[in-house]
Copies of this chain bind each other. A is one copy, B any other.
Amino acid sequence: MTLMTSWVPSANSAETPFPLNNLPYGVFSVGHAPARCGVAIGDMILDLTEAETKGLVSLPETAFDAPSWNKLMAMGPDVWADLRAQLTALLSEGGDTSAPLIAQADAQMHLPFQVAEYTDFYAGKHHAMNVGTMFRGPENALPPNWLHIPIGYNGRASSVVVSGTDVVRPNGQTKAPDADMPSFGPSKRLDIELEMGAIVGTGSELGQPISVAQADEMIFGYVLLNDWSARDIQAWEYQPLGPFQAKAFATSISPWIVTPAALEPFRTSTPEREKDLLPYLQEPSPMLFDIALDVTMAPEGKPATTIAQTNYNRMYYSAAQQLAHHASSGCAMSTGDLLGSGTISGPEKSERGSLLELTWGGKEPLTLDTGEVRTFIEDGDTLTLKGAAKGDGYQIGFGEVVGTIKPAVTFPK
């Protein structure tokens, strides 16, 4: 696969994240006009609500009359393929240049879909080993189930926000190891988690498990995801039933949903198994993707420093495996469910996808290029995730996930 050319000039570049090969889906607004569905092409957005009204795009039923992709998502893979074919024809060289385009620079982006439920996994082995080593020592780093189950927990859909949304530092209960009693106040160990998010397009019925192959076909697309985490709140609350308020204040996602069709040339297998998976979790074909990822950190008013660089292909479990496991008990999966991959870290220190790992629990502070020293995130800091699959003379970009930390609020009396 090489760069496909478009009549939109800015799409024909090796540098744009959004060439014709990509066609990622988002929701945007301009000024005070209502939000609507769009597809990114170069530095422009094709207004799909308008394109559908004009008949430039035509599906079995109206898909773009609401500011969310859920309706199209529920229509299933055949309609997804049909839409992509129509968009490719429309935006290719020789396509209809009357298609309604808006400059991305003029648009505000919104959550691209209504999040039904949000699940976060713990499926990166390097991350699990790092965290496990810190908390339980290298001998007991991986929990006994880890090589058999893509460990996950249910998160909070109401906390999912689009890139650019400020993140308010959470309050919570924490307890110092030597304290008699816990105390309540702003988190002092605020962190990121570099993740990919998989979005369920077509759902499954309660009581009806699905295979890994079926799961792969149900995934509508992928986003970058930052699962903001308050490590001190998490440490005190998470036993015995898992993370709760430590991860309920914000999870940021990229505004553009990149489809499996765009990522097809970048499919790769999960790594070799250390222990055979049970048959219901085995991958019938490559279901992970080669996507370069990086994280930057910028103190208020200062330039950003790259603090981590890794790749989605580091994961031990693919999103399809996670989704099949999620439905294995008969749990119904719904259009709009969001599955976080779990923190993505690689074997090198520079590949660690959280500050917890990068600063080894705060013991090894980072010095930024601008001279500031950080263990965890301070008020005013801006954290940015970026990701792109790199092809031959083109890339499939995800855009950015940006978030700036605002001070904690005073608690109501």
Task: Report A's interface with B, CB cutoff 8 A.
Answer: 116-117, 122, 143-145, 148-149, 151-159, 161, 168, 170-173, 175, 181-184, 206-211, 214, 230, 233, 236-246, 248-250, 275-276, 278-280, 325-326, 328-334, 409, 411-413
Contact = CB atoms under 8 A, between A and B. Distances in A.
B330 A209 contact: no
A44 to B, nearest CB: 31
B245 A242 contact: no
A172 B325 CA distance: 9
Given A154-B154, A158-B206, 4 more contacts: A158-B334, A241-B242, A248-B329, A330-B409
Contacts of A411: 209, 280, 328
Contacts of A237: 145, 149, 151
How many copies of this chain does the complex contain? 2
By CB atoms of chain B within 10 A, which of A158, A175, A207, A240 has the most? A240
A308 to B, nearest CB: 22
A280 B333 CA distance: 35
A171 B240 contact: no
Contacts of A245: 325-326, 328-329, 331
B242 A207 contact: no
Given A168-B330, A208-B409, A409-B330, A278 B183 contact: yes
Contacts of A208: 409
Nearest to A150: B244
B239 A143 contact: yes
26 contacts: A117-B156, A143-B239, A145-B239, A148-B175, A149-B182, A149-B237, A151-B244, A154-B154, A159-B206, A159-B332, A170-B330, A171-B328, A171-B329, A172-B329, A173-B278, A181-B275, A182-B278, A208-B409, A210-B412, A238-B241, A245-B326, A245-B329, A245-B331, A246-B329, A248-B331, A328-B411
